[in-house]
Amino acid sequence: MGSPARVLVLGFSAMITLGTCLLALPIAAAPGHSIGIVNAFFTSTSAVCVTGLVVKDPATDFSLFGQWVILLLIQIGGFGYMTMATIMALLLGRQLSLKDRLVLREALNVLSMEGLVRFTRNLIGISLLVETMGALLLTLRFALDAVFLSKHSLLDAIYFGIFHSVSAFNNAGFSLFSENLIPYRSDLVVNLVITTLIILGGIGFIVYSDLYRRYHGEGHQLSLHTKLVVTVTISLIVAGTALFFFSEFQHPETIGKLSLSEQLLVSYFHSVSARTAGFNTVDLSKLSTVALYLLMLLMFIGASPGGTGGGIKTTTFGTIVIDLWTTLRGQVEAGAYHRRIAAANVAKAYLITAIAFIWLTVASFLLLGVEHLETDKYFLRVLFEVTSALGTVGLSTGDGGILSFAALFNSFGKLVIAVTMLVGRVGPLTLGAAVLQSQEKSRVRYPEGEVLIG
């Protein structure tokens, strides 16, 4: 039997392959446009891995059929293919085997198999409910927008509402507007609905479940996981908003000419969106180096375990910060909220971060070499694109038009970004286990040796 990590990676790979075949069909391209197998593969990977990097414009290059394929891939990718397979099995009356449950646990990133099927049902139900509410609010806003109606019909308002709600909740960042959400950067309704969907999708259903039991059950205490996720999420949003604002408020090409309220709204939007969603309301190619670096940090951290986003995860970042703080204070064990964090989890947090950083370095090095890009001119843009792919975000400094910077890459460069998106979606540790982990664990234990560190 293959390891759960291996089955999970193969499952995502199969979904990407199926999506590639569908998007490569002539019917998937808009009249007068062609997609090509490489671009179909890139788009399929971006959708399944809920990233949002685009080398073909979903609004103009794809037909209605192609757009619906992208939307379906986003939904399956957001839920996770194993979650969808579980629901299909339950609908057909089939019981889950132990292997199925192990893979499902790996896919959902939960600790226990107890109540796993009920957890999956609730996850699907609440996700669809939130997406429906988001779609209704966005549809209403588009239907009342005179500028939108001057170019589109009321039926389009419904379609755009559904598409952007699903894309936002699954932290995908795909948009049917060629300029993404730049036309709505000052629209309070669109900004708040989209960011709320992003946060709800990225925070993880484990947190929902814990909060529900805390406020509807007697005596239930919030877990350390939930407390850490909520604390880190709020801290990153607040800090990200403030830092983005102070780095750009005097920049006339981004937010410098906007009113104070609009500047704060744009800053808040990008602080939320950068942690794996990928929508943008300003031209990122015009941002200052400081703002780009800030967004890269947020993209690298990403969403929370069990959510629809990528990155090293908020809990990983939080655990490392806590461990560094406690170590510098001379304490032996890392802990927070009167709870100790297991040493194995601390080691795992450092391992995930190290693997992600190594992949980031290798992928950037490959792109700079293969694409023959001038390091002094393109290094930051390449690093930003790779970080965006690894965090499954979708933000990009652009190709000079409406596509991602990756649109300028050759086939090998696009493959590097596509593989990076897959690494970000399944997790660097999961992918490493799928490739390197052997079925038999060694029982050999060697004598301890001393190594000087630092």
Q: Please report, in tens digits, the pLDDT of each residue of the chain (454 residues total).
A: 456 677 778 888 999 999 999 999 999 999 999 999 999 999 999 999 999 999 999 999 999 999 999 999 999 988 765 565 555 555 555 555 555 556 555 555 555 555 666 777 777 888 899 999 999 999 999 999 999 999 999 999 999 999 999 999 999 999 999 899 999 999 999 999 999 999 999 888 888 878 877 777 656 788 888 999 999 999 999 999 999 999 999 999 999 999 999 999 999 999 999 988 889 999 999 999 999 999 999 999 999 887 888 899 999 999 999 999 998 888 877 878 888 888 888 999 999 999 999 999 999 999 988 887 776 778 999 999 999 999 999 999 988 778 999 999 999 999 999 999 999 988 877 777 666 665 566 677 778 777 777 7
Judge whether 441 lies within some domain: no
pTM: 0.89
- Measured distance CA(69)–CA(81) in Å, rounded: 15
Number of domains in the chain: 1
CB 179 within 8 A of CB 402: yes
CB 426 within 8 A of CB 8: yes
Judge whether 440 lies within some domain: no
CB atoms within 10 A of CB 288: 14
Judge whether 442 lies within some domain: no
Residue 93 burial by Cβ neighbours in a 10 Å radius (0-12, 13-18, 19+): exposed
Tell me which residue has tokens 């132990």. Answer: 98
CB 433 within 8 A of CB 318: no
Judge whether 250 lies within some domain: yes
Residue 358 has a pLDDT of: 95
Judge whether 253 lies within some domain: yes
Q: Tell me which residue range forms the domain holding 310.
A: 4-431
Comparing CA positions, the residue from 164, 163, 298 lying closest to residue 235 is 298
